[in-house]
Amino acid sequence: MAPTPSGEAAWGFRRLPVPVIAAVSGHCPGGGLQIALAADFRITRPDATWSVLEGRWGIIPDMSGVQALSELVGIDVAKRLTMTADKITGARAQQIGLATELADDPVAAAFELADQLSARSPDALAATKRLFDGTWNRSARHTFARERWEQLPLLFGPNARRAREANARREVPEYLPGGRKITR
């Protein structure tokens, strides 16, 4: 089943073949939180404010937030955040699994991570994202089958060959298009 129309913006990040990084430096309530949770990585200031604010208004998350919460935290934590609409700090968000890491300058840290990821094969990044998103809570048998399905084209693909050759020469690989160098 597809997300609601308002949830499509957030859930659409999941379908992108590139990693999505959210940088949270101030307030991240309600819909903003749900957008951040849909990213692959969330970097936050320790003093940022996070909240599933919908509970304050007598409603529930509907922008794919319930699905994202279920993937990141335990059911009791997800219920508490949603039912109480408590505001938590970025440091607490990181402790409970909502945020990936803390940084005093999350935008700079996000660009550093983007630079690091852009040095990798765009084919492998896309396959990794598909594999983890498609198997995380599935059976081992399903996961092993998906691993083989994703790995075979990579092993014989041009970007893996470029990576092997560049590593043998102790050089940085130059990959074929599919990923883009991220500029500030």
Convert the pLDDT of each residue in 79-112 to its tens digit: 999 999 999 999 999 999 999 999 999 999 999 9
- In terms of Cα–Cα distance, which of 125, 117, 51 is closest to 83? 51
- In terms of Cα–Cα distance, which of 16, 12, 7, 22 is closest to 93? 22
**In terms of C-beta density within 10 A (0-12 exposed, 13-18 middle, 19 or more buried), how is residue 164 classed?**
exposed
Tell me the pTM.
0.83
pLDDT in tens, 117-162: 999 999 999 999 999 988 878 788 887 888 888 888 888 889 888 9
Characterize 36-58 residue by residue with b for buried, 16 or more Cβ atoms within 10 angstroms of its Cβ, and e for exposed: bbbbbbbbbbeebbbbbbbbeee
Cα angle vertex 7, ends 5, 56, to 5°? 115
Sequence-distant (6+) residues with CB within 8 A of 134 are 146
**In terms of C-beta density within 10 A (0-12 exposed, 13-18 middle, 19 or more buried), how is residue 86 classed?**
middle
